[in-house]
Chain A
Amino acid sequence: MIMDMSQYLDVFLEESKEHLSSLNAQLLELEKNPSDSSGLNEIFRAAHTLKGMSSTMGLNDLADLTHHMENVLADLKSGILAVNSQVVDILFKCFDRLQIMIENIEKTNQGEFDNSDLIAILENIKAGKTEAAALAEKEVVVLSSVESVVPESKKLNTIYPFDFNEYDLSVLREASGRDFSILHLRVDVDPGCVMKAVRAYMVFKVLEEEGEVTKSLPSSQELEEGKFEGQFEVLYLTHLTKDVVMQRVNNISEVKVAEINEVNLDNLSGEAVMDAPVTIDRTTDNKEISEETPKAQAHKIKQTVRVDIERLDQLMNLVGELVMHKGRLEQIGATEKMSDLNETIEQIDRITTDLQSVVMKVRMVPIEQVFNRFPRMVRDLAKELGKEVNFLIEGKETELDRTVIDEIGEPLVHLLRNALDHGLESSKERLDRGKPLHGNVVLRARHEGNNIYIEVEDDGGGIQVHKIVNKAIEKGLLSAKDAEQMTKEEVTELLFTPGFSTATNVTDVSGRGVGLDVVKHKIESLSGEIFVDSRPGFGTRFRIKLPLTLAIIQALMVAVKDEIYAIPLSSVDETTIVANDDIKMIQNQEVITLRRSVLPLYRLARLIDLPGDLDENAEKYVVVVRKGDRQIGLVVDTLIGQQEIVIKSLGRLLVGISGIAGAIVAGDGNVRLILDITTLF
């Protein structure tokens, strides 16, 4: 059996990971709003699917554990058990175990694992023997009000297993006022059917020709992804009679209407009474949920394809090659001066540009993927540190190139840990300072021009400049004399020095002197930059700036002697010509004045160790580049022009050379190097 299934293993692993991450997210929500039953339904559904999938795969230990989890979840759902922190903790532990098991399967193909410890606890909980129930009396009391209504809603739920909110009901009421009938359909899909999702889609299509599907179970998105087992239910508003609807649906092959009923609205409004306060509660309580609810409803059935990332990489490489040869063609066009040729080249240029942006979009993934694991991490960390934390995520739909997504997680973990551990004060300190007990940590992503900004912000004590200076002097990174002359910005830069940590207490979480320098290094390896703003007493903000894509960029080509280099246009502010007389010396450093600001001047030939004398023309070409907040003048011999370049790695042998970000293959077939402005000087 397992042998037969092995080809589905990849899909199984991928999907189980998705389910686990959604389980984690939903459970966190549930912990915040124990009365929110829709979250519980989601968890139940995800656990159920996981169970189904793992038993199909013959992974019995996995199926067994999820089965026991499902039992407990079912009791939570029906209100027999109350949601309390102990139950939630156990469920989290189960998720962790599932994660480990799935990782094991991925690495070693081993699905066996002894889960008797967790299963025993789960069984205890189910048997009602949980001490938690006694301990967490408070929560039980809170919930009892819900419990008292549960029996009725349960009864209704068995008739119509949908979740209704006020909005849905008003739609239904209005529909029935306009002589629409409300039909509840249960549709069977032939178990032998290969593409369940397509059948579901066809049912929707037929129904929506004359009417509206207002609700479905599982959700339309899950149906579209084929995540259901043989049967689904919909609530359907239409002028048509029951029989006609039944006939139309039955006309679709491999699909059969199992049950069709007209819905009596009075039954539903009874449930709404119970549901309404919960909805109100939610909106006042949590901004994020209220924002998400309408969005979830807005989900339309879209056709999607799951593609191996390697194929996308291949596609990107091919487009890269195409762009490169387009560059070569452009060169030929420029020398040949044939109008027909040039017209064609222009067309090709337009098409490749479009193609490139499409391929780039295909590779874009919402940063949600990375962000989703943080609420759990922050929760655990806050518990460990004994701090009260409000963790807010903004802009998780922001899209980033896949390669960046894969790399950005680790530095963000560092920054969040930092914010919780060093950023936020202890509860006592906060109260002493007259701040609210709950510290705020915000993780924010947004898109701006060709860049993505990711911010980690806390409202803690801020960075204390004198502490950093003292520490740096103590560690011998700085002399007391230098320290006096440093600006605030320069001092905060010290945070990123290897071996620097200001936490007076080295905790388990952070403060071992590794961290920020690693973060900085990682961000720079992604061609990004990191900045810090801090206001003492009010908090700290780390800002990461990343390019949208790492694969194809615009660059300025420059030459020194017989070597040609590319400078990413994102680092270039402007180019200018400077007369020799305008170059001044300050403390042994050449500088120029550009619109009243003084910039240091560096000779590229010297920076890249070119032998021989410097070219001493009366005038010099200067590329003004931006490094962080600083402008620097870079003297080159010739400006060749702007060009679209496909970045290639120099390979593992030449990794980490400072000042070089990668290489390109130029139109003439030669390799040219890309200068990395952040590490060149």
Chain B
Amino acid sequence: METSIDRERGKESMNAIQVVAFQLGNEEYAVDILKVQEINRLLNITRVPRSSEFIEGVINLRGNIIPVINLHKKFHLASSGDTNEKRIIVFQFDEVKAGIIVDKVSEVLQINSLDIEDTAKVYSSADAESITGVAKVDDRLLILLDLEKLLGVEVL
């Protein structure tokens, strides 16, 4: 699905990053592919009482217990799309593993860092701190998530 121009640019620039793009509600987001461990179909999620409202619950991933974060709630987005297309994207930083629920995983693509707009110009809300920037890819706008910050916020 990648356009040839994208690919060319990606090769030229040292600052190209590969991202996984996905949908949350009507918006399109992206995360650095190096942070993504795997993408799963929706598994049985067990609710965790008394946890933060953004925690959807925990899942069993081959014997590991992994918390799942509900970004819809965090970003105040309505869930959309077919349940069959929903996925859990699992990330890992250091020792911490976590997943997020997304409505649909669109594709893997390369973004040139020159195409990334600073967040401050676009967002001014409190959510901005977990967003690295907005990338223009053709006529699409991808919101780049800073997962470490996102999880850091969730720790409390």
Contact = CB atoms under 8 A, between A and B. Distances in A.
B65 A657 contact: no
Contacts of B96: 651-653
Contacts of B154: 653
A655 B35 CA distance: 22
B44 A654 contact: no
A654 B46 CA distance: 13
B48 A673 contact: yes
Given A652-B96, A673-B49, 10 more contacts: A650-B58, A652-B95, A652-B155, A653-B151, A654-B48, A659-B50, A663-B65, A665-B60, A670-B44, A671-B60
A658 interface: yes
B55 interface: yes
B58 A663 contact: yes
A518 to B, nearest CB: 20
Given A663-B65, A665-B63, A669-B60, A650 B48 contact: yes
B46 A671 contact: yes
Contact of B49 (A609, A653, A671): A609
A206 interface: no
A672 interface: yes
A650 B97 CA distance: 10
A649 B63 CA distance: 11
16 contacts: A563-B46, A608-B49, A608-B50, A649-B65, A650-B48, A650-B65, A651-B97, A653-B96, A653-B154, A654-B51, A654-B55, A654-B58, A665-B65, A671-B60, A672-B46, A673-B48
Interface of B: 44, 46-51, 55, 57-60, 63-67, 95-98, 151, 154-155
B53 to A, nearest CB: 11
Secondary structure class of chain A's binding surface, majority of residues: mixed
Contacts of B58: 650, 654, 663, 671, 673
A671 B155 CA distance: 21
Which of A321, A648, A649, A653 has most B Cβ within 10 Å?
Answer: A653
A530 B63 CA distance: 32
Contacts, number: 71
A660 interface: yes
> 3 shortest A-B CB distances, which residue pairs?
A608-B49, A671-B46, A663-B65
Interface of A: 321, 324, 563, 607-610, 648-654, 657-660, 663, 665, 669-673
Contact of A660 (B50, B60, B64): B50
A321 B63 contact: yes
B48 A660 contact: yes
B44 to A, nearest CB: 5
A659 B49 CA distance: 9
Nearest to A324: B63
B63 A670 contact: no
A669 B48 CA distance: 16
B136 to A, nearest CB: 32
Contacts of A657: 48-51
A671 B96 CA distance: 18
Contacts of A665: 60, 63, 65
Contacts of A608: 49-50
B55 to A, nearest CB: 7
A663 B47 CA distance: 11
A633 B6 CA distance: 64
Given A653-B96, A653-B155, A671 B50 contact: no
A316 to B, nearest CB: 13
A321 B63 CA distance: 8
B65 A651 contact: yes
Contact of A653 (B44, B46, B98): B98
Contacts of A671: 44, 46, 57-60, 65
A653 B67 contact: yes
Contacts of B155: 652-653
Given A650-B58, A659-B50, A669 B65 contact: no
Nearest to A562: B47
Nearest to B50: A657
Contacts of A654: 48, 51, 55, 58, 67
Contacts of A673: 46, 48-49, 58
A392 B37 CA distance: 53
A610 B65 CA distance: 22
B98 A669 contact: no
